[in-house]
Chain A
Amino acid sequence: MRWIVCIKQVPDTTEIRIDSRTNNLVREGIASIMNPYDCHALEAALQLRDQHGGQVTVVTMGPSQAEECLRDALAMGADEAVLLSDPAFRGADTLATSYTLAAAIRRLAPVQLIFCGKQAIDGDTAQVGPELAEWLGLPHIAGVEYLVVKANNITARREAESEYYLVEANLPALVTISRTMNEPRLPSVWGRLRANRTPITVWTGEDLDIDPNRIGLAGSPTRVKRIFYPQHQRQTQIRQGNAEQLSNWLVKTLAEERLL
Chain B
Amino acid sequence: MKVQQLSIFLENKPGHLENALKVLADRGINIMTLTIAEASDFGIVRMIVNKPDDAAAALRENQFTCSTTDVLALELDDTPGALLKALHAFSKHNLNIEYMYAFTEKRGDRAVMIFRFDDIQAAIKSLSSEGYNIVKNIGIIGA
- A and B part of one assembly: no
